[in-house]
Structure formats: structure tokens, C-alpha cells
Amino acid sequence: MAPTNRHETKESEYGYVYGVSGPVVTAEKMAGAAMYELVRVGHTELVGEIIRLEGDFATIQVYEETSAVTIGDPVLRTGKPLSVELGPGIMESIFDGIQRPLEAIAMNTKSIYIPKGVRTNALDRQKKWHFIPSKRVTINSHITGGDVIGTVQENELIKHSIMVPPNCFGTVTSIACAGDYSVDEIILEAEFNGVKTKYPMFQIWPVRTPRPVAEKLAADYPLLCGQRVLDALFPCVQGGTTAIPGAFGCGKTVISQSLSKYSNSDAIIYVGCGERGNEMSEVLRDFPELTMEVDGVTTSIMKRTALVANTSNMPVAAREASIYTGITLSEYFRDMGLNVAMMADSTSRWAEALREISGRLGEMPADSGYPAYLAARLASFYERAGKVKCLGGPEIRNGSVTIVGAVSPPGGDFADPVTSATLGIVQVFWGLDKKLAQRKHFPSINWLISYSKYMRALDDYYEKNYPEFVSLRTKCREILQEEEDLSEIVQLVGKASLAESDKITLEVAKLIKDDFLQQNGYTPYDRYCPFYKTVGMLKNMIGFYDLARHAVETTAQTDSKVTWKVIEDHMKPLMYELTSMKFKNPSTEGEEKIKKDYEDLYDRMVSAFRNIEE
């Protein structure tokens, strides 16, 4: 939002404040204004957006504190919708909900608070970027929306493609040579029907309009997030939609942050929407210290991350804007052919902001006071996710946006309208359980109520890379379900009266729960679990279950019966090794050694059971 000179503005472009109700302002003399047009309210020029038009009156939601606005104050129309600047310099930045760079504001104002009506460009106009033009774009070549005209190496992790804005086309009349340019310098000039258009390095896009794509594709590659319970039992795809509902203190933010840190995404957009400010400061503190290795060079993962902070102590109305700002930034990086993950923490706070604005507008409330259009708003946000074939050329580019939305139902009640509406839209549900969190079982994902609808979509990937995995996962889920059914019987009659095979089921389920599903995010060996380690651990645990069941069932009718007690006495060291599999550190021991150790353990288990049966 570049500064404008007020004195040059015509009086006809002004309306006047008619009434103020919290973040909602009514203005008169606004004939000719458009829905969702950006306006400047009052003498301090607060940012607002028109959300209702009735005759000469406009209702405006203001994205800043309206305490000093009075009746008769001017309302300046800008003639354009709420838009974001897209170009080099987004990564490693932290913006507020309407894409104002918080770091730049802090440096300019020397204050820890954001002054009212502050104006500053989202992208730094002084910084120079090294632009390398595409060899395929020359003078007289034809360009169309989405074509890559050059690249800028934004940092070690992000190679930023400079694209022609969507809905633009023409014949190139001049293109900049390789060199250092600021984002607002002209790097391309194109002509269409005798009209010449100049294009700088950045583009402006309205946040409420989804960026166009060539076509939507079926997602078929997993989003690996390094959490065993998620990767193994409830996988998400790159381009999928996921909800993480859970009560206060269940670990939603930790899961969102570990996804940002360790998932196999190319870029991360983290939107802190109405949650505690400390969580954003935690991200700002932790992310620069976390590193990843690219081509043998260690770099900070902050270099692939952009933050949109609209925390609980910031204006309520801007929560909606922050969600749309985040998804528009994600779509821009998707159009370059990157796989982007967007974390929205939390969508419940956005819904509460909608409820407040709706109440002030006097709209008819629906369930729990939320507006009747809540589900439609949530759906319009989540459907901007997906894997797509990008617009333009010269090469075919496929990109994806994965949305992970945390939901905070009051008291952990999943019948809450926001949770119900979200579950009707998303394909993956990672339900967090308060009881598990109280038992310090983290990630506290309840394996009985969670689900993923992407299992089928990923079968081909698993078949090609880990052929035995699908059957292992099915067996694992059966064991956990069986254990849940048996736990009621155990509470009534005790463990001793169970059949031997049921005792094995209970013990292996305990092993899976404590040493496979549980993961300590604060240790170097367990904060991130690569998929080969997940599969290796699961294979050995299910292998132990199969071998133990086989030993019990084949000797049941003979004199030398094998019971669970016999297995436990003979296999103590091997069972200890099974529980210790998680202590293998992928970063120090490497894939080959860990795989070999797991295979060796499996072979020793097979021979140990053979000895018992004999």
C-alpha cells in the first residue's frame, strides 16, 4: 500500500463517517463505491474495506483501532480492492494481516507498537536483486500470463521466478539485461494492439480473487511431516487440506510448527491468526536456528518461510484479511512450480471475528451466533488448496498449495459449528485428544477418531517405493482397534483371564502406542522421523506380533505350549531393542546404517522365535 498525497485527491472521492460501532464504520456520500474496495477512514487514514453497500451508504470494516474516529471524518476511496505485492523479498519477512512489513515499521517508527494509519511498502524498494533474463524471452517474442521472463536467486533455498502477471499478454519490445534491479524498476515492456505496457519485477494481486491456473491435477505425492503417527496412519498429500482440531494445550501449534520445520515442502507460509503473540515470537526465535542441508550447504529454514502475524492483541477485523493474504502469497509461490504448505493457526479465531462483525451488522445469527455463511467462507478458503498445472511457459510447471488449518473448539467440543463445517470440507482430520495430552502422550493424535481420505491416492506411491507398507499399516490399525475392544474386558475381568493371542495383542499395542506413535519433539533423534525409519520401525513391531501369534497358535495343541509369559522371559533383550528403535538418530547414523540395524533385528527375532518353538 504505497503512500498517496491527500492534497491531490478530488473532493468527489471523499465520503464522510456517519456512524462508528467498534471495527465497523458506516459512511455516507459513497455512491459509486464498489464492494471490497479499499478505503482510508478518518484523519489518520486507517485502512478499511467496504463490506456492504446500501444506496448512498457504505459499511466498512476497519483493520485498525477506530477509537479516535468521529462522525463527519473524511473517508477516502482508493478505487482498488485490498491487494498484496508479490515479488522478491517475501521470504524471511514478517507481515501483519494486510501485508505491512512489521520489521520495516519497527525500524521507521522506533516503536514497539504499530502507529495508526502507518503506510509503508510491503516489499523493500531500495534493495537490489540480481535478475537473470530467460534465454527464451527475446524482443518480438510473444508472452502471456504466467510466462517466466527471468529468475532472481532470492536466497539459498528459493529461486524466485519472475512471471508475467495473469491476464496480461503481448509482444516483447524490450527486456532488461542481467544485472541488479530493485523490485519497482521496469524489466519488461510489451505491446498489444498498439498499447505498450511496462512490467516491474513485482506484481499486485487482490487477495479475495484466487490466482488462475491452467488446470487442477489429482494429488498423488505425500506431504511427509516427520511425525510417525501422521506419516504412517493418516497421511496428507501435497495439495491437500487438513484440519487439526483440539482443545487448549493439546499441541496444535507444536504440530503446525513441526510441519513448517520438517515437511517436504519448498516454501512455508505461516499465518498466526488470532492466537497468542508468543507463538509467533517463538517461531521467530526457533526458525533461524533450525537448519537444512541443500547441495551440501547448511542454511536456515527461515529462508523458505514467510510469516503473517495477526495475533490476538491485533485488530479483530484483520484476521480475515490475514487468512486471505496468506493464501494469496501461497498461490504466488505455487505458480512458480513450488510445493507450498500454508499453516493457519487458528481458523476458529477468524470465525469468531466473522461472528463479531456479523453481530455488529445486525445479521441473523445461526448456530452459536456464527453467521449463516460461515461454511461457505471456510469452503472458499480451503478450495484454494490443490495441485495444479501452472499458467504460462516455457516449461510445464506443476505446483501445489497444502492448507493445514488448526481449529480451537471451546472446551475441545468437536460438535462446535466451526469444527463441523471444517470437517465437511477437509480431507484429512488429525483429532487431538485432551486425555492423551494429559498423559503426556505427544503428538496427542487420537488414532481411533482421526482419518485420511487420501489413502487410495497414495497407494501407487507406496507400491513403488515401500511395497510392504500398506499391509503393515492395515495390520497396525487392526491391532490398535482390537486393543480398544479388549481394554473394556480387561477392566472388568483382568488381564490374566484373556486368551494368549489377546495378551500378545495388548502388549504389542502398548509397544506401538508408547514407542511408535509417541514422539518427543524436543530431542535430536526423535524431533523428525524420516519415512524409511517409520517403515522400518513398523515392520519390526508388526513382525514381532506375527511371529508371536504364530508361535502361540502352532504350539497350542502340543505339550510344549508357548505362552506370552514364555515369550516375554526369552525375548527380554529383543523387546528392549524394539522399544529402543526410535533412539536411532537419522542425522548422525544415516539411512544405510539404520536400515541395516533394523533388518538385523528382524533376522534375530525370527531365529529367536524358531528356537522357542523348537
Mean pLDDT (whole number) for 436-459: 95
Per-residue pLDDT tens over the stretch 348-394: 999 999 999 999 999 999 999 999 999 999 999 999 999 999 998 88
Are 190 and 250 found together in one domain? no
Q: Give me the CATH number covering residue 407.
A: 3.40.50.300
pLDDT, residue 249, reads 86
d(C-alpha 363, C-alpha 370), whole Å: 10
Does 5 score more than 60 pLDDT? no
515 vs 520: CA distance, rounded Å: 10
Is residue 35 domain-shared with residue 68, that is, in the same domain?
yes
CATH number at residue 185: 2.40.50.100
Q: Which of 456, 408, 453 is nearest to 426 (CA)?
A: 453
- Per-residue pLDDT reduced to its tens digit, 543-601: 999 999 999 999 888 888 899 999 999 999 999 999 999 999 998 999 999 999 999 99
Residue 89 lies in a domain: no
pLDDT band at 305 (very low <50, low <70, confident <90, very high): very high
Task: Say whether both 427 and 501 belong to one domain.
Answer: no
What is the model's pLDDT at position 6?
Answer: 55
pTM of the complete model: 0.95
162 and 264 part of one domain: no
In a domain, 542, yes or no: yes
88: in domain:
no
Tens of pLDDT, residue by residue over 94-152, are 999 999 999 999 999 998 888 988 989 999 999 999 999 999 999 999 999 999 999 99
Coil, helix or strand for 535?
helix
Dump pLDDT digits (tens) for 11-59: 778 999 999 999 999 999 999 999 999 999 999 999 999 999 999 999 9
List pLDDT tens digits, range 504-541.
Answer: 999 999 999 999 999 998 898 999 999 999 999 999 99
**48: CATH:** 2.40.30.20
Give per-residue pLDDT as tens, 228-278: 999 999 999 999 999 999 988 898 888 988 898 889 999 999 999 988 888
Mean pLDDT of the region 418-423: 96
Q: Which residues have C-beta within 8 Å of that of residue 398, sequence separation ≥ 6?
A: 217, 337, 387, 388, 389, 390
At 590, which CATH number?
Answer: 1.10.1140.10
Expressed as residue numbers, the domain containing 225 is 215-454
The tens digit of pLDDT for each residue in 187-217 reads 999 999 999 999 999 999 999 999 999 999 9
**Residue 3 forms part of a structural domain:** no
Give the number of domains in the chain. 4
pLDDT at 8: 58
The long-range contacts involving 571-576, CB below 8 angstroms and separated by at least 24 positions, are 571/605, 571/608, 571/612, 574/544, 574/601, 574/604, 574/605, 574/608, 575/511, 575/544
- The answer to whether residue 314 sits within a structural domain is yes
Shared domain for 187 and 230, answered yes or no, is no
246 lies in the same domain as 364? yes
